Amino acid sequence: MQHPVKPKAVISGGSRGIGKALAIRLAAAGFDVAIYSRSMEKLEALKATILEAYPQTDVFIKSCDAADKAAVQDFAHALKDYWPQVDVLVNNAGIFTPDNVLDAEEGVFEAMVHTNLHSAYYLTRALIDRMPREGQAYIFNICSIASLQAYPAGSLYTITKHALLGFSRSLRQELKGQIRVSNVMPGATYTDSWAGADLPEERFMKAEDVAEAIYQAYALSSRTVVEDIVLRPLEGDI
Protein backbone atom coordinates (compact mmCIF):
# COMPACT_ATOMS: atom_id res chain seq x y z
CA MET A 1 0.00 0.00 0.00
CA GLN A 2 1.38 3.41 -0.95
CA HIS A 3 1.58 5.93 1.89
CA PRO A 4 0.55 9.55 1.28
CA VAL A 5 3.41 11.99 0.79
CA LYS A 6 3.94 14.09 3.92
CA PRO A 7 4.16 17.88 3.57
CA LYS A 8 7.66 19.36 3.80
CA ALA A 9 8.65 22.48 5.74
CA VAL A 10 11.95 24.39 5.61
CA ILE A 11 12.93 26.61 8.55
CA SER A 12 16.01 28.83 8.56
CA GLY A 13 17.64 29.62 11.90
CA GLY A 14 15.50 26.89 13.39
CA SER A 15 17.55 25.42 16.22
CA ARG A 16 16.20 27.69 18.98
CA GLY A 17 13.45 30.14 19.87
CA ILE A 18 10.54 30.58 17.47
CA GLY A 19 12.15 28.41 14.79
CA LYS A 20 12.62 25.52 17.19
CA ALA A 21 9.07 25.80 18.53
CA LEU A 22 7.72 25.87 14.98
CA ALA A 23 9.76 22.85 13.89
CA ILE A 24 8.28 20.85 16.77
CA ARG A 25 4.75 22.14 16.06
CA LEU A 26 4.94 21.24 12.38
CA ALA A 27 6.35 17.80 13.17
CA ALA A 28 3.38 17.29 15.50
CA ALA A 29 1.09 18.20 12.59
CA GLY A 30 2.64 15.53 10.38
CA PHE A 31 5.26 17.56 8.50
CA ASP A 32 8.75 16.50 7.63
CA VAL A 33 11.13 19.34 8.50
CA ALA A 34 14.42 20.71 7.17
CA ILE A 35 16.28 23.10 9.44
CA TYR A 36 19.49 25.04 9.26
CA SER A 37 21.39 27.09 11.81
CA ARG A 38 25.01 27.75 12.67
CA SER A 39 25.14 25.28 15.58
CA MET A 40 25.19 21.64 14.53
CA GLU A 41 25.11 20.67 18.20
CA LYS A 42 21.78 22.45 18.71
CA LEU A 43 20.42 21.04 15.46
CA GLU A 44 21.26 17.50 16.50
CA ALA A 45 19.62 18.06 19.90
CA LEU A 46 16.47 19.37 18.21
CA LYS A 47 16.41 16.45 15.79
CA ALA A 48 16.62 14.03 18.70
CA THR A 49 13.77 15.83 20.48
CA ILE A 50 11.55 15.68 17.40
CA LEU A 51 12.29 12.03 16.65
CA GLU A 52 11.66 11.01 20.24
CA ALA A 53 8.18 12.55 20.13
CA TYR A 54 7.38 11.95 16.45
CA PRO A 55 9.54 9.05 15.21
CA GLN A 56 7.98 8.99 11.72
CA THR A 57 9.28 12.49 10.96
CA ASP A 58 11.97 12.97 8.34
CA VAL A 59 14.32 15.60 9.83
CA PHE A 60 16.96 17.13 7.55
CA ILE A 61 19.54 19.29 9.32
CA LYS A 62 22.56 21.20 8.06
CA SER A 63 24.92 23.70 9.61
CA CYS A 64 24.73 27.01 7.75
CA ASP A 65 25.67 30.62 8.42
CA ALA A 66 22.68 32.68 7.27
CA ALA A 67 24.98 35.64 6.56
CA ASP A 68 26.87 33.61 3.94
CA LYS A 69 25.14 33.63 0.54
CA ALA A 70 27.07 30.62 -0.73
CA ALA A 71 26.25 28.63 2.41
CA VAL A 72 22.52 29.38 2.11
CA GLN A 73 22.54 28.35 -1.54
CA ASP A 74 24.50 25.19 -0.67
CA PHE A 75 21.82 24.30 1.91
CA ALA A 76 19.11 24.72 -0.74
CA HIS A 77 21.10 22.64 -3.23
CA ALA A 78 21.64 19.83 -0.71
CA LEU A 79 17.94 19.87 0.10
CA LYS A 80 17.05 19.69 -3.60
CA ASP A 81 18.79 16.34 -3.84
CA TYR A 82 16.84 15.20 -0.78
CA TRP A 83 13.32 16.63 -1.32
CA PRO A 84 11.82 17.44 -4.72
CA GLN A 85 9.09 19.62 -3.18
CA VAL A 86 8.75 22.22 -0.40
CA ASP A 87 5.29 23.05 0.97
CA VAL A 88 6.16 25.60 3.67
CA LEU A 89 9.13 27.96 3.83
CA VAL A 90 9.82 29.88 7.04
CA ASN A 91 12.44 32.62 6.72
CA ASN A 92 13.28 32.86 10.41
CA ALA A 93 17.05 33.39 10.58
CA GLY A 94 18.01 36.61 12.30
CA ILE A 95 20.32 38.32 14.77
CA PHE A 96 19.94 41.29 17.09
CA THR A 97 22.54 43.53 18.68
CA PRO A 98 21.71 46.74 20.58
CA ASP A 99 23.31 49.19 18.16
CA ASN A 100 22.49 52.66 16.87
CA VAL A 101 23.08 54.09 13.41
CA LEU A 102 25.71 56.64 14.41
CA ASP A 103 27.86 54.66 16.84
CA ALA A 104 27.74 51.03 15.67
CA GLU A 105 31.07 49.34 15.07
CA GLU A 106 32.20 48.87 11.48
CA GLY A 107 30.73 45.73 9.92
CA VAL A 108 27.85 45.23 12.36
CA PHE A 109 25.26 46.69 10.00
CA GLU A 110 26.45 44.60 7.06
CA ALA A 111 26.34 41.40 9.14
CA MET A 112 22.81 42.16 10.27
CA VAL A 113 21.64 42.92 6.72
CA HIS A 114 23.13 39.68 5.43
CA THR A 115 21.55 37.61 8.19
CA ASN A 116 18.16 39.28 8.60
CA LEU A 117 17.41 40.18 4.99
CA HIS A 118 19.69 38.63 2.40
CA SER A 119 19.26 35.10 3.80
CA ALA A 120 15.48 35.28 3.20
CA TYR A 121 15.98 36.64 -0.31
CA TYR A 122 18.47 33.97 -1.36
CA LEU A 123 16.69 31.03 0.27
CA THR A 124 13.34 32.03 -1.22
CA ARG A 125 14.79 32.36 -4.72
CA ALA A 126 16.57 29.01 -4.36
CA LEU A 127 13.45 27.09 -3.28
CA ILE A 128 10.57 28.86 -5.02
CA ASP A 129 10.54 26.60 -8.08
CA ARG A 130 9.93 23.60 -5.83
CA MET A 131 6.85 25.07 -4.16
CA PRO A 132 3.38 24.10 -5.44
CA ARG A 133 1.10 26.83 -6.76
CA GLU A 134 -2.67 27.49 -6.53
CA GLY A 135 -2.48 28.34 -2.82
CA GLN A 136 -1.15 24.97 -1.70
CA ALA A 137 2.21 26.28 -0.44
CA TYR A 138 3.01 28.95 2.11
CA ILE A 139 5.89 31.33 2.88
CA PHE A 140 6.18 32.86 6.35
CA ASN A 141 8.67 35.68 6.81
CA ILE A 142 9.48 36.23 10.47
CA CYS A 143 9.65 39.98 10.70
CA SER A 144 9.18 41.79 14.03
CA ILE A 145 7.29 44.52 15.81
CA ALA A 146 10.47 46.41 14.90
CA SER A 147 9.22 46.17 11.30
CA LEU A 148 6.52 48.63 12.30
CA GLN A 149 8.29 51.05 14.64
CA ALA A 150 11.75 52.07 15.76
CA TYR A 151 13.21 51.40 19.19
CA PRO A 152 16.04 53.04 21.12
CA ALA A 153 19.30 51.08 20.90
CA GLY A 154 17.85 48.88 18.17
CA SER A 155 18.25 51.02 15.09
CA LEU A 156 20.15 48.59 12.88
CA TYR A 157 17.78 45.75 13.72
CA THR A 158 14.82 48.02 12.99
CA ILE A 159 16.24 48.95 9.60
CA THR A 160 16.70 45.31 8.58
CA LYS A 161 13.27 44.27 9.85
CA HIS A 162 11.59 47.15 8.02
CA ALA A 163 13.37 45.91 4.89
CA LEU A 164 12.28 42.32 5.51
CA LEU A 165 8.67 43.45 5.78
CA GLY A 166 9.07 45.23 2.44
CA PHE A 167 10.50 42.06 0.94
CA SER A 168 7.62 40.02 2.33
CA ARG A 169 4.93 42.41 1.10
CA SER A 170 6.52 42.55 -2.34
CA LEU A 171 6.61 38.75 -2.46
CA ARG A 172 2.92 38.64 -1.55
CA GLN A 173 2.14 40.88 -4.53
CA GLU A 174 4.24 38.80 -6.91
CA LEU A 175 2.76 35.47 -5.77
CA LYS A 176 -0.93 36.39 -5.45
CA GLY A 177 -3.09 33.47 -6.53
CA GLN A 178 -0.08 31.13 -6.43
CA ILE A 179 1.59 30.91 -3.01
CA ARG A 180 0.32 32.33 0.26
CA VAL A 181 2.70 34.75 2.00
CA SER A 182 2.42 36.02 5.59
CA ASN A 183 4.35 38.76 7.38
CA VAL A 184 4.82 37.56 10.97
CA MET A 185 5.56 40.36 13.43
CA PRO A 186 6.05 39.06 16.97
CA GLY A 187 6.85 41.31 19.89
CA ALA A 188 9.14 40.29 22.74
CA THR A 189 9.25 36.48 22.82
CA TYR A 190 11.10 34.53 25.49
CA THR A 191 14.13 33.08 23.69
CA ASP A 192 17.89 32.91 24.21
CA SER A 193 18.12 36.47 22.89
CA TRP A 194 16.58 37.70 26.13
CA ALA A 195 18.76 35.57 28.40
CA GLY A 196 20.01 37.67 31.29
CA ALA A 197 17.32 40.31 30.91
CA ASP A 198 16.18 41.68 34.25
CA LEU A 199 12.54 40.81 33.56
CA PRO A 200 10.35 37.87 34.58
CA GLU A 201 9.68 35.22 31.95
CA GLU A 202 5.95 35.89 32.31
CA ARG A 203 6.47 39.36 30.82
CA PHE A 204 7.30 37.79 27.44
CA MET A 205 5.29 35.83 24.92
CA LYS A 206 5.94 32.11 24.56
CA ALA A 207 7.69 30.93 21.40
CA GLU A 208 5.11 28.15 21.26
CA ASP A 209 2.33 30.73 20.96
CA VAL A 210 3.99 32.33 17.95
CA ALA A 211 4.44 28.90 16.40
CA GLU A 212 0.78 28.07 16.98
CA ALA A 213 -0.36 31.31 15.34
CA ILE A 214 1.74 30.49 12.30
CA TYR A 215 0.39 26.95 12.08
CA GLN A 216 -3.22 28.11 12.39
CA ALA A 217 -2.69 30.54 9.51
CA TYR A 218 -1.34 27.68 7.42
CA ALA A 219 -4.29 25.46 8.38
CA LEU A 220 -6.83 27.79 6.76
CA SER A 221 -8.10 26.80 3.34
CA SER A 222 -6.05 27.67 0.28
CA ARG A 223 -8.65 30.33 -0.51
CA THR A 224 -7.49 32.49 2.42
CA VAL A 225 -4.22 34.14 3.42
CA VAL A 226 -3.44 35.98 6.64
CA GLU A 227 -1.24 38.76 5.32
CA ASP A 228 -0.09 40.21 8.67
CA ILE A 229 0.29 38.31 11.94
CA VAL A 230 1.02 40.79 14.73
CA LEU A 231 1.54 39.46 18.25
CA ARG A 232 2.48 41.36 21.41
CA PRO A 233 2.93 40.48 25.08
CA LEU A 234 -0.24 41.05 27.09
CA GLU A 235 1.35 44.00 28.92
CA GLY A 236 2.63 45.57 25.70
CA ASP A 237 6.05 46.03 24.12
CA ILE A 238 9.28 45.79 26.04
Active site amino acids: 157
Which residues make Cβ contacts (< 8 Å) with residue 184, sequence separation at least 6?
140, 141, 142, 143, 210, 213, 214, 229
| Dist. CA 144–CA 44, nearest whole Å | 27
Mode of pairing for the β-strands spanning 88-91 and 59-63: unpaired
Contact between residue 26 and residue 218 where contact means Cβ atoms under 8 Å apart:
no
**Residue closest to 18 by CA, chosen among 221, 172, 192, 233:** 192
Contact between residue 53 and residue 35 where contact means Cβ atoms under 8 Å apart:
no
